[in-house]
Copies of this chain bind each other. A is one copy, B any other.
Amino acid sequence: MATLSDIGVAAAINILSALIFLLLFAILRIQPINDRVYFPKWYLKGLRSSPVTSGAFVTKIANFDFGSYLRFLNWIPAALKMPEAELIDHAGLDSAVYLRIYLIGLKIFVPIALLSWSVLVPVNWTSDGLQLAQLRNVTSSDIDKLSISNVEYGSDRFWAHLVMEYTFTFWTCYVLMNEYEKIASMRLAFLQSEKRRADQFTVLVRNVPPDSHESISENVEHFFMVNHPDHYLTNQVVYNANELAGLVEEKKKMQNWFDYYQLKYTRNKEHRPRVKLGFLGLWGKKVDAMDHYTAEIEKLSEQIMAERKRVKKDENGVIPAAFVSFKTRWGAAVCAQTQQTKNPTEWLTEWAPEAREVYWPNLATPYVSLTVRRFVMHVAFFVLTFFFIIPIAFVQSLASIEGIQKSAPFLDTIIEKKFIKSVIQGFLPGIVLKLFLIFLPMILMIMSKFEGFVSISSLERRAAFRYYLFNLVNVFLGSIITGSAFEQLDSFLKQSADQIPRTVGVAIPIKATFFITYIMVDGWAGVAGEILRLKPFVIFHLKNFFLVKTEKDREEAMDPGQIDFYATEPRIQLYFLLGLVYAPVTPVLLPFIIFFFGFAYIIFRHQIINVYNQEYESAAAYWPDVHGRIISALIISQILLIGLMSTKGKAQSTPFLVILPILTIGFHRFCKGRYESAFVVNPLQEAMIKDTLERAREPNLNLKGFLQNAYIHPVFKDEECEDDEYEELIEDSDDENCVVVPTKRQSRRTTATSSNPNGGSSQPLSCNQPDTSKVKPEP
């Protein structure tokens, strides 16, 4: 067991590495050459252009204003300065609310830490349970003297812990309720303040039943004409355009190469660049590059044209789903919330996701298949959680010396070398596990996609939920009760229901020091590493050096990244869980958690302001999940305390403590009833208010024009822009024809593309926001 000084040393090491990261960041960020790594957001917003505007070449790369090195921490107040309203405007509600998760951590744990340090620590410290134990040769450490372990068996002092658990529970619930209310109202205000958006008027209809007499589009039109006569406006069928998307992707690549060789040629007009036709351009016949790519592009264009016509004409190319638009937001709200026919598996209506976050491949999944897929994925996730260690162990055995010798005997001579051998033995197994854990969120995301959700935000929410469960079982419980998850499951099944909390509870205080170290490594140094952006930093400079052919490429090499909700939020939840579990048991752990929340808040606030660029905006639709997971952490902490107490000779406190989880569940249900609907449905009153205002302001609005092309599969949108209908469209309909989703933020992709509108761009979502083109002059 670690002593206080051991912890101190570990803390020092981690603080030091965090400081090194921060220092590196402070130096790197003020070098102009790194500007696009550390401030991409501002480039995307068009508020910052390349630092290459003037001055000597050297000043483009390095910063010689030594004064700025002295102010190397001044990004912290800068990050904190931006008020929340402006932050929402700048980065969207998703990001702003994401930051509030860290703030909640502070709001919950700072008062809890103060209380438990002023009440529980003295109570624990002045007991002599461990001294008595020492007489029986049980070793202990200073940390344990501060924890519940130091209280004698059956002592009345445990009542202090019980009362504190009550206080912690009430405080946590109070904070959670306030926060839920606040965020619900933020969401409503955000939705209310938004400009006209296509998804406000649109409903996604799935499982349109086949009709032998009518095409799907006609069928949809007739159905809604009849059943929503006063409100139906138009509909947009969904084409099965996966093949087409492939061709377009191919053409885009060719176009890029063409641009590259053209650039090369303009630099050196003496000889036209030539290219080999074989694999990766390494061998084969040499031809003139520009001619070759021009021909390729033309060929692909024709193929695309043909495919596009085929898809649009072929009845099988149309998916039995459609985006149906209404004359008013009220009409859309009604249609999204009601059941259309007596068969609840046909004509399924739901609120249309923002066009950017539609996950097109899943639109066609029929109802029965959905049920089956969901079921299969539940089973697959269960297997993944409890048996993931089996394939890992298999790969690890392959990655061992003997495994390699067996499967690849020709590597024998290399492996025999001592250094390589030790690397393989020492690192490979760990790396295999680490790689699996890194790829886990992605695996879970693929599972969600298979399950058939149609919007990216719901995909992310499901993946986040599963990742949380995985962490709970394999990281939290797995660390407390050593052994694989499956062994745990087996032993849990064989233990009685009241034995399980005891088994876990009794191990809780023992593992405190392990979790403190975990928090410092994962939470402190890990978060500091985030701000350094090592991976994007390296990749940007590599790309910039080797691959960047055009200005557009440089734009694309700049990877602002985004908060991957499904990968990051479940990890924060682990800290809530640890904090709540250890608050009554080992209060020493709390300051470490508080430091994590505070530090991460500052870092992520800075990143959100300067770096990340979210690809879509769900208006904090994930909040009920976050709330629910904190509640479940609370309940887990209460049950484990019951278990711990019953091993401490305080089994009579069980009835007193059992009330707590019941109350907590009641509280959760109350919150769900009271606030959740704000995140799920669109109330009619709000829709009516917006409709009325709009009618007063713009009585002659051409809504049909506005909605016409909002929900075209991105591939067709490209087509239209390409066929030089682009300019026409915009002129035709007063900027409203081809607009996708005019949120306040401008998507990164959009900016990247509109800088090259004439180059036959094949970016999605490229038709709107012509104003962004002023950011950069035409090449």
Contact = CB atoms under 8 A, between A and B. Distances in A.
A333 to B, nearest CB: 7
Given A493-B496, A496-B493, A674-B345, A340 B371 contact: no
Interface stretch (A244-252, A423-431, A678-686): A678-686
Given A371-B673, A669-B371, A670-B371, A685 B342 contact: yes
Interface in A217-244: 226-228, 230
A494 interface: yes
A499 to B, nearest CB: 7
B685 A341 contact: yes
A344 B685 CA distance: 12
Nearest to A688: B227
B497 A683 contact: no
A684 B498 contact: no
A492 interface: yes
Interface string A469-506: 00000000000000000000000111111110000000
Given A230-B230, A496-B494, A499-B496, A340 B375 contact: no
A666 interface: yes
B338 A334 contact: yes
A496 B498 contact: no
Contacts of A334: 334, 338
A342 B227 contact: no
Interface string A340-377: 11101101000000000000000000011001000100
A610 to B, nearest CB: 34
Contacts of A340: 683-685
Copies held by the complex? 2
A702 interface: no
A683 B499 contact: no
A23 interface: no
Nearest to A678: B342
Contacts of A493: 496-498
A522 to B, nearest CB: 33
A384 interface: no
A684 B349 CA distance: 12
Nearest to A191: B342
A22 B778 CA distance: 99
Contact of A338 (B338, B342, B345): B338
Contacts of A676: 344
Interface string A303-346: 00000000000000000000000000010011001111110110
Interface string A675-705: 1111001111110100000000000000000
A232 to B, nearest CB: 12
A673 B345 contact: yes
A348 to B, nearest CB: 10
B375 A666 contact: yes
Contacts of A228: 684
A688 to B, nearest CB: 5
Contacts of A682: 339
A666 B226 CA distance: 35
A681 B495 CA distance: 44
A177 interface: no
Contacts of A371: 666, 669-670, 673
Contacts of A495: 496-497
A395 interface: no
A684 B339 contact: yes
B188 A678 contact: no
A676 B339 CA distance: 12
Residue of A497, A662, A685, A686 with most chain B CB atoms under a 10 A cut-off: A685
Contact of A674 (B188, B344, B496, B681): B344
A180 to B, nearest CB: 12
Contacts of A662: 379
Contacts of A674: 344-345, 367
B338 A677 contact: no
A492 B495 CA distance: 11
B338 A686 contact: no
A495 to B, nearest CB: 5
Contact of A677 (B344, B670, B681): B344
A254 to B, nearest CB: 46
A681 B339 contact: yes
A338 B341 contact: no
A375 to B, nearest CB: 5
Contacts of A188: 342
A601 B344 CA distance: 32
Contact of A337 (B338, B496, B666, B683): B338
Nearest to A345: B674
Interface in A29-84: none
Interface in A99-119: none
Contact of A339 (B330, B345, B492, B677): B677
A686 B344 CA distance: 12
Given A371-B669, A371-B673, A686 B342 contact: yes
A149 to B, nearest CB: 26
Interface in A580-602: none
Nearest to A686: B342
A720 B330 CA distance: 39
Contacts of A230: 230
A293 to B, nearest CB: 52
A683 B342 contact: yes
B337 A339 contact: yes
B227 A673 contact: no
Contacts of A670: 368, 371
Interface string A365-397: 001100100010001000000000000000000
Nearest to A347: B685
A688 B341 contact: no
Nearest to A368: B670
B684 A338 contact: yes
Contacts of A669: 371, 375
12 contacts: A226-B685, A226-B688, A230-B230, A337-B338, A339-B683, A340-B685, A341-B684, A342-B685, A344-B676, A345-B673, A371-B670, A494-B499
Interface of A: 188, 226-228, 230, 330, 333-334, 337-342, 344-345, 347, 367-368, 371, 375, 379, 492-499, 662, 666, 669-670, 673-678, 681-686, 688
Given A334-B334, A340-B683, A342-B685, 8 more contacts: A227-B688, A341-B686, A344-B673, A344-B674, A344-B675, A367-B674, A371-B669, A494-B497
